[in-house]
Structure 1
Amino acid sequence: MVKLKPKGPFTRIPRATTIFGAISNAIRLLYGRKEVEKFIAGFINDDAKITSAFPYDGETYFLPKPLSVDLVVKTLFETKKEDVKKVKKKDYIPLESFEKALRLEEFEVKELPYKVIELPKVSLDRVSNDSSLYFWDLVTFKENSGLYFLYDGSNKLFEKYIVPAMRLLEDQGIGGKGTWGYGLFEVEIEELEIEEPRENSYVTLSPFVPENETSLILWKIVKLGGWSQGKRRPKIPMVVEGSLSREDRGKMITLDLSLSYPVYVYARSFLVRASLPEEAVGHV
């Protein structure tokens, strides 16, 4: 587990695509393009995988609520009907609750340790000098809270590439506007285990593009884009965190952005076994 202890606000909670891109760019700055290719090869060859970033609060680690919960929430909380609305509104639930949700058992929800605020900004037209007001979202964290992401794979790749890249990113930031002081953090490496049921369906902890669309069971789609070396990447439809599928590793997507090298977009899954509710059988 890689913990990001924030030095200030973030512009957003970064997904695996953003984290992978930031690490790749940091490796390029540290070691050059050839080492980036070796790093990416480790992910292409399934030697490594990462999750999106999720919030933590002290020793409480939050994970995305499985979509299966929404199908059975009224049954799970039959004796606590007042909790149904609370559960439906939550994007993240604590690790212990996540493990219960994987088994389709009743669980508890907690308040999240961050807030999203709108920050007003003023832009000036270079020609007319006219000003216009716009708003910028900021994610602010309470004391002793922050973000983390999970890594699974080669320890050699982790120590050689990811650890030094994250050290560099401490002062460069993740998620944009690092020069404004956003997305800066202190990094800590710890262990985190998730107890999984013995099932043949899975919840993903990273957005992914399936190799086989028939593997999807319960899912939502989000279009993710971004920037690479000043070039805008096209928005790619991906299956969101918390979606359920059969085993499907996802893809590494290659883009030609007219740079001197191809751009790789991380669209791999990070799968955790999960029970499938009877209500989802028709989705299989």
Structure 2
Amino acid sequence: MKYRLYKLQFLSPIHFGSDTVGTSLEEADLICHSDTFFSALCSEYIKLNGYKTLDDIEFKKLFDNNDLLISSLFPYKNNSFYIPRPMIISEKNTSDNNTDNSEKDKKHDRKAMKKISYIQISHIQNYLKGVKNNDNSFLDFLENIKELEDYNNFAKYSLIQKVGLRNNDEKNALYDVGAYYFNVGCGLYFILGYKSDSNLKLFESVLESLKYSGIGGKRTSGYGLFEYKVEEDINMFEFENKNESNYKMLLSLYSPFDDSKEDKLCELSNIDFNKSYYSLIKRNGFIYSPIHGKNLIKRKSLSMFKEGSCFYVKDDIKGYVLNVNNKDIQGNVYRYGKALCIYINF
């Protein structure tokens, strides 16, 4: 598998729905999860090629067969790339006679870590070393990078007022949309894994079209338009297990099983959960596809492992592209649950 990184420079504001269930359009997130990005790519492919469904077509099969892999979209600033903070937590050494103070220190360390959402890839080894050793300098390290990893370092959040046009006999409705405007030199990036140049060429043809359609919400208002630049020298990401580590960290959402199959394919046995650190996220929402037009159809919800989860793996993990048809939908509907990971030394 070969890898390259794509830096997206946005030409308009972006709106990605918040992870919090039941939030309104006023809430927005800075990043784009891999399943959302996959849906945008597939919708663009259908629009370009005139297909009515993704079933049995080349583009989806490339992801099914692990010929193409994508990460979620994370922030960058100039040439500094940020990843989710690894979910590995510090275990304070309690050999100290003052156990109460040790417990307080442990809670303080964890609170400091939780304030950091993203961390520069160049800081990752110092961070993991600090978590493992948990010496006095680790808290200072957390305090020093806390200000650097704040959302405001990348973009400014704004509420934009919109007008919902009604029929002639109804009053127009005002509503607010939460959006991010990126600072100069900032944007989002993603990583692509590919096995052949022909696969790469097909992917980039879809991405080239997608930049004019946009990603995220409110695209009809011009949101989410972008230009992109390719970075091929990304040695700071450890895709190969050079240090014989058992820990893999997710850079995408991941589903280890597919219950839509008769044999209910499962990779849970490949992970030692007693030594793993992870978080789950519930994914739901509505379907946007050229096939279904403007009809709002709710897709089946499911829980997935979140980016930043760190698994102690006994065997390889790959994930699945899941069928989330809720039986009220014509044709199959898919959610991306493939694992794009890096190895971490811990």
Shorter-chain TM-score: what band?
0.7 to 0.9
Find the counterpart in structure 2 of residue 88 from structure 1: 114
CA distance in 1, matches of 2:208, 2:159: 29
CA distance in 2, matches of 1:67, 1:157: 36
Q: Taking structure 1 as reference, are residues 73 and 234 closer, same or farther at Cα in structure 2, changes over 3 Å only?
A: farther
The offset of 1:218, in angstroms, is 1.6
Q: Which has the larger radius of gyration?
A: 2
The number of equivalent residue pairs is 271
Find the counterpart in structure 1 of residue 249 from structure 2: 203
1:263 aligned onto 2:281: no
1:25 aligned onto 2:29: no
Pick one of 210, 224, 237 that aligns with 2:283. 224
TM-score by length of 2: 0.68
* Residues 74 and 84 in structure 1, CA contact (< 8 A), matched pair in contact too: no
Find the counterpart in structure 1 of residue 6 from structure 2: 2
* Residues 206 and 241 in structure 1, CA contact (< 8 A), matched pair in contact too: yes
* Residues 194 and 200 in structure 2, CA contact (< 8 A), matched pair in contact too: no
SS in 2 for 1:150: strand
Residue pairs, 1:129-208, within 5 angstroms: 129=170, 134-191=175-232, 192-193=234-235, 194-195=237-238, 197-208=243-254
CA distance in 1, matches of 2:216, 2:288: 12
Q: Taking structure 1 as reference, are residues 198 and 261 closer, same or farther at Cα in structure 2, changes over 3 Å only?
A: same
Q: Deviations over 1:52-78 (max 9, x none)?
A: 00011101111111000x435999xxx
Find the counterpart in structure 2 of residue 59 from structure 1: 79
Q: Deviations over 1:199-244 (max 9, x none)?
A: 1121101111123345242211111224232433222211110012
Deviates more, 1:221-230 or 1:237-246: 221-230
Find the counterpart in structure 2 of residue 98 from structure 1: 124
CA distance in 1, matches of 2:93, 2:334: 42
Find the counterpart in structure 2 of residue 45 from structure 1: 65
Deviates more, 1:127-136 or 1:44-53: 127-136
* Residues 53 and 331 in structure 2, CA contact (< 8 A), matched pair in contact too: no
SS in 1 for 2:299: strand
- Which stretches in structure 1 are left out of the alignment for 5+ residues? 76-81, 277-284
* Residues 283 and 301 in structure 2, CA contact (< 8 A), matched pair in contact too: yes
Find the counterpart in structure 2 of residue 280 from structure 1: none
Q: Taking structure 1 as reference, are residues 124 and 48 closer, same or farther at Cα in structure 2, changes over 3 Å only?
A: closer
Find the counterpart in structure 1 of residue 302 from structure 2: 236
CA distance in 1, matches of 2:127, 2:318: 22
The offset of 1:39, in angstroms, is 1.4
* Residues 73 and 84 in structure 1, CA contact (< 8 A), matched pair in contact too: no
The 4+ residue runs of structure 1 with deviation greater than 6 A are: none
CA distance in 2, matches of 1:41, 1:74: 49
The offset of 1:118, in angstroms, is 2.9
RMSD across aligned positions (CA): 3.1
- AA of the residue aligned to 2:32: P
- AA of the residue aligned to 2:90: L
Q: Taking structure 1 as reference, are residues 259 and 119 closer, same or farther at Cα in structure 2, changes over 3 Å only?
A: same
The offset of 1:190, in angstroms, is 1.4
Q: Taking structure 1 as reference, are residues 122 and 131 closer, same or farther at Cα in structure 2, changes over 3 Å only?
A: same
* Residues 125 and 345 in structure 2, CA contact (< 8 A), matched pair in contact too: no
- Which stretches in structure 2 are left out of the alignment for 5+ residues? 17-30, 95-107, 133-137, 258-266
Q: Taking structure 1 as reference, are residues 123 and 48 closer, same or farther at Cα in structure 2, changes over 3 Å only?
A: same
- AA of the residue aligned to 1:3: K
The offset of 1:93, in angstroms, is 0.8
Q: Taking structure 1 as reference, are residues 147 and 161 closer, same or farther at Cα in structure 2, changes over 3 Å only?
A: same
Find the counterpart in structure 2 of residue 281 from structure 1: none
Residue pairs, 1:71-82, within 5 angstroms: 71-72=90-91
Q: Taking structure 1 as reference, are residues 74 and 34 closer, same or farther at Cα in structure 2, changes over 3 Å only?
A: farther
The offset of 1:258, in angstroms, is 5.4
Q: Deviations over 1:11-39 (max 9, x none)?
A: 02211001111111111222343995211
TM-score by length of 1: 0.82
SS in 1 for 2:209: helix
